[in-house]
Structure 1
């Protein structure tokens, strides 16, 4: 499970404004092996964390490249999982390494959507004076969509903008932060606070109806923006900022050794390449 909030503005009012503000949580088993975010790939131009689970090595959940390609993934909540399905994390890694544009890539993914357990995938291209953000969920419409309108969006473990209570609460808090005039460091810190909100949002009939097969205790834990349960929960927060002058800030706050009391924060800064 994961959750993502993002503000997309293809024509910011000033160069100091942001083309993209994205805040995301990765929820996973604490003992699942993974690498913290760093640069990798040919020329070290891809920045992401990496899954190191046996058979899933090299997949990711969120990443960006120095050329402005970005991808982010959430799982779709469903009771029955196919153990033989293909690894969803490769959907992110493959986009970041290939040269196909965002929409064409999602059309290709949609043609093979049946090979995967439920997922949602955002792909984006941020270039000089040009932005493309696209979305596809393999449990929704058969076709991907362009997100052409500037605005604030939320994506959890149902389809884009499905109004689960946790998504609505997190989106309200995210909106209140991005509407402020804050220096980058202050913006990152306030967004981290949004992502680490552990308040439960129950009852939520909409989320619970989709979670058939989950126990009541698990559904209750999953109703928070920041999930905390034995052995499973939010283990990575990521903030990505892209401003009007093509400067990228990527901050990852990640759990160490499966210990909820031990965290490390690392930031990366670079300018988009042509």
Structure 2
């Protein structure tokens, strides 16, 4: 994933309500949202490295991973997507998992990881050094920088999520999907400087990225209630924002 906003323990129905976009090279092979035959995971699947960018299980667990945008940082180490599958397939709850992962986080490519179970949520990252942070109840955001870094598109999506909640929505996810489809770019004076140059900062500043070779591949909503039951909605896109289908699955 490259843009995430989520509400944790603040919505009256949904313990976790998450909206996010996955931006990736269109040539990278991936499978759409599905119940995995060889695992309890419900999610999309990276067919190159075998992991996932977002997944959930019937045990009320969810995991999301992003990269860290810094062209000066070498992409060495194990695939980030394996962090998500290891957590979702593993025996440890979010608290124990976070404590263990800090010790091995340097073995992976630069990452941000969100893990949730029925009681806890954690942010774990390995840049500039490994750390784990418990997630407090509230509305939070994450992109390709540190947790809750106020990039314009992150702040905007968090605001759209707050408005969705204030409107009393429970199952109408259309406004959140519309927020994820927003192609408006941020003003230059608000852009971060991540070392990719002004033109690319502008292009990457919108929630939805349109491109021939690289862009938004999937827009996803995850909703998990206080009993651990939930569902995932995924819209998929090809080069230049070509619509490639939509799926909705009960997490099981």
Pick the aligned partner of 1:190 from 171, 175, 179: 175
Distance 2:106 2:170 in 1: 44
Residues 87-236 of structure 1 mapped to structure 2, 5 A cutoff: 87-126=79-118, 131-140=119-128, 142-147=130-135, 149-184=136-171, 186=172, 188-204=173-189, 207-208=192-193, 211-212=194-195, 214-236=196-218
8 A Cα contact 1:235 1:255, kept in partner: yes
Pick the aligned partner of 1:237 from 209, 216, 219: 219
Runs of 5+ unmatched residues, structure 1: none
Aligned to 2:28: 32
What's the secondary structure of 2:231's corresponding residue? strand
With structure 2 as the length reference, what TM-score do the two structures score? 0.92
Change (3 A) 1:183 1:18: closer
Distance 2:62 2:230 in 1: 11
8 A Cα contact 1:41 1:97, kept in partner: no
* Matched positions, count: 252
8 A Cα contact 1:165 1:204, kept in partner: no
Aligned to 2:45: 50
Q: 1:144-194 CA deviation, whole Å, 9 max, x = no partner?
A: 1211x321000011111111111112211221112212351x2x1111001
Change (3 A) 1:111 1:265: same
What is the CA distance between 1:41 and its match in structure 2? 5.0
Larger radius of gyration between Structure 1 and Structure 2 = 1
8 A Cα contact 2:191 2:202, kept in partner: no
Distance 1:84 1:246 in 2: 36
8 A Cα contact 2:7 2:16, kept in partner: yes
Distance 1:245 1:105 in 2: 21
Distance 1:267 1:67 in 2: 18
Runs of 5+ unmatched residues, structure 2: none
Distance 1:183 1:88 in 2: 32
What is the CA distance between 1:238 and its match in structure 2? 0.8
Distance 1:156 1:270 in 2: 24
